[in-house]
Amino acid sequence: MPSSLDYQIEQAKQDLKLHKLAVKVRSKSVVSTTCDRLASPAVLGFAVGTGFFIGKMSDRPKKVKAPGEKKSPTNVVIKILRVFAGVQSASSFAKHL
């Protein structure tokens, strides 16, 4: 016949097991919700805008153009690709939170 103390120990073990399971389920839910919210277009747009603003406000030295140098179409494409890469990085970061 099991004693009252044995029953209490088994009950505490079962409670602990259920609590661990509840924590695991809740943490997965929180991660999923956080990823969904961080990957939303509004948040990604805000992140890009903030990065752009910080880049403009930083004290980077200006590039000196050689006389007669024009804007190259490839420079524009490179800038656009950098923006896309930044958005993609922010999105992949949000998925791993």
The answer to whether the predicted template modeling score (pTM) of the entire model surpasses 0.85 is no
Give Cα separations from 21 to 15, 18, 29, 49, 83 (angstroms). Answer: 10, 5, 12, 40, 41
Cα separation, 36 vs 38, in Å, equals 6
Residue pLDDT, tens place only, 1-35: 568 999 999 999 999 999 999 999 999 999 888 88
List CB contacts of 48: < 8 A, sequence separation 6 or more: 83, 86, 87, 90
How much is the average pLDDT of 67-96?
Answer: 74
Q: Is the pLDDT of residue 72 over 90?
A: no
DSSP letter, residue 19: H
Residue pLDDT, tens place only, 41-64: 887 888 888 887 777 777 666 667
Amino acid 26: pLDDT:
94
